[in-house]
C-alpha cells in the first residue's frame, strides 16, 4: 500500500496516535486538510529540525538519566520517526540513555516505570497457542526478533519479565545503528518465571508469579516459540539475548543450523572483543599469535570471545588445540585447569594443565598474559595490584573491562590508565569519559557488541541469509577492525567513534552479505552492487508526505 492509500485509513486522531505515521506539529497545511487534522494540532507547522530541538531541550533538562530514558521511550511510543531522528543525529549522547548503562537501571525498575507494553510477551500460559498469539503482533513483516528470558540481564542477574527492556533497547539500536526499519523489529520476552525474590515479592511486578521453570516445560515453550516465529515471519532473524549460561550455549547449538539464529552474548561479544584486540595490536605492533589472553569470567561472553580468537588464529593456519592454549580463564572457582571436576562442555577446551590458582592476581603473575578481558559482571575485580602487575609484565598491557552496565565494570577507565602510568590499552563495555593524565588525554573505546549485531543483522536480512554462521561474525570483526582509523588509535581508541556507527554498520552489513552470497547461504541472487542494496534497505528517519 502506498503512503497515499494508507493515509485514507489513518486520519484524524487515529494518525496522531499511530507512532509510525505520527508527525505531530510537522504535518503540513495540505496534510492537515487531507488528514482531517484541523483543530487537532496547534496552528504553527514545525520542521522536523525544530521538533528535534524541542526534544533535545527537554531531554537535557531532565534531572537523571532514567528520566531521560522515560522521556525518550514515551517519544518512541508517540512519534517513532522523531525519536530515531533525535537518537541518530545525537548518537553519542543518546546511546548511553536508550542502551547501556541506563537501560540496565530501566530494566531493574521496569515494573515501576511501566507505561506502554512495547514488545511481545510469550509466557508459560501461552503454551499450545504461541503461533496463534503471534498473529496479534501489529506488524506483519517482522524481520528481526530479539528474544530474552530475562535470566541474565547485562551483569545484573535474573530480572524476569523486566528483561523486556533489554530486547527493546537492542532493537532500537538495530534501527538507529544499521537502519533496520522499526516495523521490522520485534522484541520478545519469554516469561518462564523468575528466581528474583524481590520481584516475586513486588505487587507491581508484571511477570508470572512463579519460580523459573526449567527442563521439559522450558524447552517446549522455547521450541514452540522458535517454530511459531518462523511460521508467522518466515526467515526471521532471531537474536538470543541475555539467556542464562546453562541455556544460552545449548539453545544456540540446538537451533543455529535449523533457523536463522544467533546468540549475541556469545557470538556478538566474541566479534567485538576480537576486533578490539586487533585494534590494540595495531598500537602495540604485536601479533595475534603472540598474545596470551587471561579472561575473568568463563560465561557466554568469555567463552564466545575465546572461540572468536581461536577462529581468528585458525585463519592464520593455527590449529584450534594450539590456538586455545593462548586463552586462559579465571572464574568463580579460580583458574580453569584440567583437573577441575564437572567442567561444562563449552569450557572444557580451555581447561589447561596447570596447578590450581585461586585468584586473578596470582594467575596474572603466573601466566604473564598480554591481555586481561573482564567478562565477569564483577566490579572492582581488576584491582590496582592486578593492573600494576599487567603494567610490570607488558609495555602496553591490553586491559578490557567489558562487563555492563558501568556499575559492573571490572575497573574504570581512570583506574586502568592511572595504575598503568598511561600505558594500558583500555576498552569498556559501557562508555567512560575521556581521561586526562598529565598532559595526555585518553579516549577509551566502547567494546560493546552494539558495534557488531546491527551490521550482522543488516547483512543477514538484506542478503536473505538462511542461517547465521560463526564466519559471519569473524568477517564482522575484521570489518570493524578495518574501520578503526589511525587517528582513533592515536587517542587510545580501539573502536571507531559512535558517531560513525551507521557507516560502520553498513560496511559490516555489506561484508556479511558478501560472505552469505559467496557461501551460498541464501536463495537470493547476488545483486550487482551489494552496498547499494544495503543503502537502499536502510531506514531513514524522514517523515513521509501524506498529501
Q: Which residues are catalytic?
A: 99, 170
In the DSSP assignment, the letter for residue 525 is: P
337 lines the binding site for ligand NAD (CB under 6 A)? no
407 lines the binding site for ligand NAD (CB under 6 A)? no
Site stretch for ligand NAD (CB under 6 A), options 9-17, 39-47, 90-98, 293-301: 293-301
Nearest one of 505, 501, 476 to 488, comparing CA atoms: 501
477 lines the binding site for ligand NAD (CB under 6 A)? no
272 lines the binding site for ligand NAD (CB under 6 A)? yes
With CB under 6 A as the contact rule, the residue among 154, 351, 389, 462 that binds ligand NAD is 154
Contact 534, 506 (CB under 8 A): yes
Q: How far is the CB of 100 from ligand NAD (least distance, A)?
A: 8
In the DSSP assignment, the letter for residue 355 is: -
Number of residues that bind ligand NAD (CB under 6 A): 30
Nearest one of 71, 97, 104 to 173, comparing CA atoms: 97
Site stretch for ligand NAD (CB under 6 A), options 57-65, 119-127, 401-409, 497-505: 401-409
- Written as nine digits, the cell of 408 is 559492573
462 lines the binding site for ligand NAD (CB under 6 A)? no
279 lines the binding site for ligand NAD (CB under 6 A)? no
Site stretch for ligand NAD (CB under 6 A), options 208-216, 311-319, 371-379, 416-424: 371-379
| E-only strand ranges, 1-158 | 120-123, 144-148
152 lines the binding site for ligand NAD (CB under 6 A)? yes
Taking the least distance from each CB to ligand NAD, the nearer of 155 and 509 is 155
Secondary structure of 291-345 in HEC code, one letter for each residue: CCEEEECCCHHHHHHHHHHHHHHHHCCCCHHHHHCCEEEEECCEECECCCCCCCC
182 Cβ contact partners less than 8 Å away, ≥ 6 residues apart? 20, 80, 84, 175, 539
Contact 248, 240 (CB under 8 A): yes
448 lines the binding site for ligand NAD (CB under 6 A)? yes
**CA–CA gap between residue 380 and residue 359 (Å, rounded):** 14
342 lines the binding site for ligand NAD (CB under 6 A)? no
Which residue is associated with the grid cell 526534544?
55
Q: How far is the CB of 459 from ligand NAD (least distance, A)?
A: 19
Q: How far is the CB of 490 from ligand NAD (least distance, A)?
A: 23
With CB under 6 A as the contact rule, the residue among 22, 370, 403, 505 that binds ligand NAD is 403
107 lines the binding site for ligand NAD (CB under 6 A)? no
- Written as nine digits, the cell of 129 is 497457542
With CB under 6 A as the contact rule, the residue among 91, 146, 186, 298 that binds ligand NAD is 298
Instruction: Tell me the torsion sign for CA atoms 339, 242, 158, 109.
Output: positive
Residue ranges in contact with ligand NAD by CB under 6 A: 152, 154-155, 245, 265, 269, 272, 296-302, 330-332, 375-378, 381, 402-404, 408, 429, 447-449
Amino acid at each position: 500500500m502506498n503512503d497515499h492509500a494508507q493515509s485514507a485509513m489513518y486520519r484524524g486522531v487515529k494518525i496522531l496516535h499511530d507512532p509510525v505515521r505520527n508527525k505531530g506539529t510537522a504535518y503540513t497545511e495540505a496534510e492537515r486538510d487531507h488528514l482531517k487534522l484541523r483543530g487537532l494540532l496547534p496552528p504553527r507547522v514545525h520542521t522536523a529540525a525544530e521538533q528535534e530541538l524541542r526534544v533535545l531541550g527537554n531531554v537535557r533538562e531532565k534531572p537523571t538519566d532514567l528520566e531521560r530514558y522515560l522521556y525518550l521511550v514515551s517519544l518512541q511510543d508517540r512519534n517513532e520517526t522523531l525519536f530515531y531522528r533525535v537518537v541518530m543525529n545525537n548518537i553519542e549522547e543518546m546511546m548511553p540513555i536508550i542502551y547501556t548503562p541506563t537501560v540496565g537501571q530501566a530494566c531493574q525498575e521496569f515494573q515501576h516505570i511501566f507505561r506502554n507494553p512495547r514488545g511481545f510477551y510469550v509466557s508459560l500460559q501461552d503454551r499450545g497457542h504461541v503461533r496463534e498469539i503471534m498473529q496479534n503482533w501489529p506488524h506483519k513483516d517482522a524481520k528481526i526478533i530479539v528474544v530474552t528470558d530475562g535470566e541474565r540481564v547485562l551483569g545484573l542477574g535474573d530480572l524476569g519479565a523486566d528483561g523486556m527492556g533489554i530486547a527493546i533497547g537492542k532493537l532500537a539500536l538495530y534501527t538507529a545503528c544499521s537502519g533496520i526499519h522499526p516495523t521490522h523489529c520485534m522484541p520478545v520476552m519469554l516469561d518462564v518465571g523468575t528466581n528474583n525474590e524481590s520481584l516475586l515479592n513486588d505487587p507491581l511486578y508484571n511477570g508470572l508469579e512463579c519460580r523459573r521453570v526449567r527442563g521439559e516445560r522450558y524447552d517446549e515453550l522455547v521450541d514452540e516459540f522458535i517454530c511459531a516465529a518462523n511460521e508467522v515471519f518466515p526467515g526471521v532473524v532471531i537474536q538470543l539475548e541475555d539467556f542464562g549460561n546453562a541455556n544460552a550455549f545449548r539453545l544456540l547449538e540446538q537451533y543455529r543450523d535449523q533457523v536463522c539464529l544467533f546468540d549475541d552474548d556469545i557470538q556478538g561479544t566474541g566479534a567485538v572483543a576480537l576486533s578490539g584486540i586487533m585494534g590494540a595490536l595495531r598500537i602495540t605492533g604485536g601479533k595475534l599469535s603472540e598474545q596470551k589472553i587471561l579472561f575473568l569470567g568463563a560465561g557466554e561472553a568469555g567463552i564466545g570471545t575465546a572461540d572468536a580468537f581461536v577462529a581468528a588464529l585458525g585463519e592464520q593456519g593455527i590449529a584450534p588445540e594450539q590456538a586455545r592454549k593462548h586463552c586462559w580463564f579465571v572464574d568463580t572457582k579460580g583458574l580453569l585447569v584440567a583437573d577441575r571436576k564437572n567442567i561444562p562442555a563449552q569450557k572444557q577446551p580451555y581447561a589447561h594443565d596447570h596447578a590450581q590458582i585461586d585468584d586473578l592476581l596470582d594467575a596474572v603473575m603466573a601466566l604473564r598474559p598480554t591481555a586481561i578481558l573482564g567478562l565477569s559482571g564483577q566490579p572492582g575485580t581488576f584491582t590496582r595490584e592486578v593492573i600494576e602487575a599487567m603494567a610490570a609484565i607488558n609495555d602496553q598491557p591490553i586491559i578490557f573491562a567489558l562487563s555492563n552496565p558501568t556499575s559492573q565494570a571490572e575497573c574504570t577507565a581512570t583506574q586502568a590508565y592511572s595504575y598503568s602510568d598511561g600505558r594500558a590499552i583500555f576498552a569498556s563495555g559501557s562508555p567512560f569519559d575521556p581521561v586526562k593524565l598529565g598532559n595526555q588525554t585518553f579516549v577509551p573505546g566502547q567494546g560493546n557488541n552494539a558495534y557488531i549485531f546491527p551490521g550482522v543483522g543488516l547483512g543477514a536480512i538484506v542478503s536473505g541469509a538462511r542461517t547465521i554462521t560463526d564466519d559471519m561474525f569473524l568477517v564482522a570483526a575484521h570489518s570493524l577492525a578495518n574501520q578503526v582509523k589511525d587517528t582513533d588509535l592515536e587517542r587510545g581508541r580501539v573502536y571507531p567513534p559512535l558517531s560513525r556507527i551507521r557507516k560502520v554498520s553498513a560496511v559490516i552489513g555489506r561484508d556479511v552479505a558478501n560472505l552469505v552470497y559467496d557461501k551460498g547461504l541464501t536463495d537470493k541472487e547476488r545483486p550487482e552492487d551489494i552496498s547499494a542494496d544495503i543503502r537502499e534497505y536502510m531506514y531513514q528517519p524522514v517523515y513521509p508526505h501524506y498529501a
